[in-house]
Amino acid sequence: MEINSDFSQRAVVRPGDVDWVPSPMAGVDRKMLDRIGDEVARATSIVRYAPKSYFSEHEHGGGEEFIVLDGVFSDEHGDYPAGTYVRNPIGSRHTPRSDDGCTIFVKLHQFDPTDTEQMVVDTRSAEFQPGLVPGLSVLSLHSHPSENVALVRWEPGTRFNTHRHWGGEEILVLEGTFQDEHADYPAGSWLRSPHMSEHTPFSEEGCLIYVKTGHLMDASAPATA
């Protein structure tokens, strides 16, 4: 299976553009944003757990990164309420579930083998730092030579400089509306811009975005196990 699998091309998915697809486990559905592979895949998805649903125990052959969008996600290691950012490195294992239901944004099989840090960040209580322009504030989540991950808050009317994306850029709009010269992206929108693409972003109403940069230089399919 291939969905938005050409990483040299810009990709945009807005709320309502794709349908929920059942996973192999009852009560767990997915919106597939990009994917190369079948059940074992290099994948970026929004995953919805119905109350009392769970997924089988599994190993993260290529690593797992997720942020909880609503509800409470749980596994044998803990409970992760909305706003929690988690990285589970290659070789980690868990049995995920949700007692009351939740939605997560998750990326699978995308870790650099040298990126071995396991981490949990409560972004709701963490302190944002001033950004590069007035009205912008940044919460750095993870940094590695192959990628940088952050939450970025835009106050209403904030505008950023025109810039190029070395290694590409990926954004999930968490709140408000993110904008650039190409389009408007309301909450729930996902966009992926390739290496050396360029834009001039702004937000008239303000927004909060998840943003990852530098990770699309050599994006390819994962191993099959």
Same fold, 18-122 and 129-213: yes
Q: What is the pLDDT along the chain (225 residues), one digit of tens a residue?
A: 999 999 999 999 999 999 999 999 999 999 999 999 877 788 999 999 999 999 888 888 899 999 999 999 999 999 999 999 999 999 999 999 999 999 999 999 999 999 999 999 999 999 999 999 999 999 999 999 889 999 999 999 999 999 999 999 999 999 999 999 999 999 999 999 999 999 999 999 999 999 999 999 876 545 443
Instruction: Evaluate whether 62 touches 85 at the Cβ level (below 8 Å).
Output: no
CATH architecture of the domain formed by 18-122: Sandwich (2.60)
Q: What is the pLDDT of residue 224?
A: 41
CATH T-level fold of 129-213: Jelly Rolls (2.60.120)
Q: b or e along 16-36 (b: 16 or more beta carbons within 10 Å of the residue's beta carbon)?
A: eebeeeebeeebbbbbbbbbb
- What are the residue boundaries of the structural domains of the chain, listed by start? 18-122, 129-213
User: What is the residue type of 115?
Assistant: D
